Amino acid sequence: MSRVQLTIFCAVQDGEAISAALRDGFHLPVHLRREDVLGRDFGDAETGERVVGTLARMAVDLELASERVADAVAVATDARRRLPFRWRTVAIVDGGRVE
């Protein structure tokens, strides 16, 4: 079973709902971090973000089996949110816990 890190990039105000839905649906740790995105692709932006040219986003990270990615994206899609989100996966080559 291969493992991946799923990252969902969503509006800050949608981060709590998406992360709670993922946590409740998969019972796995969910990591959140705020990001500012500079760029010209404003298809996901609110009006105010288009004016200033910066998107305020939340990155929601979850490590899970690659076979569960479609399920996780579906859970995030069904979460109560206002704006579209983007997502990607990265393969986990190695990892562990050090005490």
Distance CA 45, CA 53 (A): 9
* pLDDT recorded at residue 4: 97
Beta strand 86-91 with 30-38 is unpaired
What are the structural domains, with CATH classification, of the chain? Answer: 3-89 (3.30.70.120)
* pLDDT recorded at residue 30: 97
pLDDT at 6 > cutoff 90: yes
Over the stretch 30-89, which tens digit does the pLDDT of each residue have?
Answer: 999 999 887 666 677 676 676 666 778 899 999 999 999 999 999 999 999 988 999 999
The band of 20, judged by pLDDT with boundaries at 50, 70 and 90, is very high
* pLDDT recorded at residue 96: 87
Half-sphere exposure of 81 (CA within 13 A, CB side): 27
Give the alpha-carbon dihedral of 38, 42, 44, 48, to 10 degrees: 80
Q: Which two tokens stand for residue 55?
A: 């998107």
* pLDDT recorded at residue 50: 67
